[in-house]
């Protein structure tokens, strides 16, 4: 598939040695090879406090508005979600809570779902364990559906992350490459159909 679709790729972690950040890097390379216009987002580059309605009442942080703009500008996303205690990370939830919060009186962001509506979202996870983070995806699915995203049915939780990457950060086995590639292809395919 050859496409110039803008694709946002990010991980729900800021840890320097995060397996899911490494997976996001592999996805970026693979999706770029497919012809997508990939934006690799690093949540560590944004100064986003813990969500607090009293803090928000004093003014939405500028970096939250930047995230709203980035999310809205990309019709397709792929999220690489770590699994903490059987669910997605507090960082990812906090990001989504801020980005989905409406800004009262703002003509662009008065609707909280605007950055999410109709986005085609692919979900991936990896972890050192045998389940690969699949429980984080099972919790993330309904959250994104509630925000009116179209979540791609094809998803992949990659087990044994410590053995899954080669020294250059690429996926080390054909099975992993095929599974991740399948998610990328479905996201790009669905986004193309929605835009036609």
According to DSSP, the residues that pair with 38 across neighbouring strands are 7
Question: Cβ distance 8 to 74 under 8 Å?
Answer: yes
pLDDT tens string, the chain, 196 residues long: the values are: 446 999 999 999 999 999 999 999 999 999 999 999 999 999 999 999 999 999 999 999 999 999 999 999 999 999 999 999 999 999 999 999 999 999 999 999 999 999 999 999 999 999 999 999 999 999 999 999 999 999 999 999 999 999 999 999 999 999 999 999 999 999 999 999 998 7
d(CA 123, CA 88): 12
Tell me the DSSP string of 123-158. EEEE-SSSSTTHHHHHHHHHHHHHTT-EE-S--EEE
CATH 3.40.50.360 applies to domain 6-195: yes
pTM, two decimals, is: 0.96
In the chain, domain spans: 6-195
């Amino acid at each position: 598939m050859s496409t110039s679709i803008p694709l946002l790729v990010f991980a729900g972690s800021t840890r320097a040695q995060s397996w899911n950040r490494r997976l996001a890097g592999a996805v970026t390379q693979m999706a770029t090879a497919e012809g997508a216009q990939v934006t690799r987002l690093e949540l560590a580059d944004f100064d986003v406090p813990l969500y607090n309605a009293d803090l928000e009442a004093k003014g939405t942080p500028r970096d939250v508005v930047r995230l709203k703009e980035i999310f809205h500008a990309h019709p397709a996303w792929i999220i690489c979600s770590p699994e903490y205690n059987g669910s997605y990370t507090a960082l990812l939830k906090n990001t989504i809570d801020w980005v989905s919060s409406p800004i009262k009186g703002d003509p662009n962001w008065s609707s909280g779902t605007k950055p999410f509506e109709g986005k085609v979202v692919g979900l991936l996870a990896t972890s050192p364990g045998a389940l690969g983070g699949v429980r984080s995806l099972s919790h993330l699915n309904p959250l994104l559906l509630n925000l009116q995203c179209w979540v791609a049915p094809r998803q992949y939780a990659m087990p044994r992350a410590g053995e899954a990457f080669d020294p250059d950060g690429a996926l080390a086995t054909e099975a992993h490459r095929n599974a991740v590639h399948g998610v990328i292809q479905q996201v790009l395919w669905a986004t193309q159909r929605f835009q036609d």
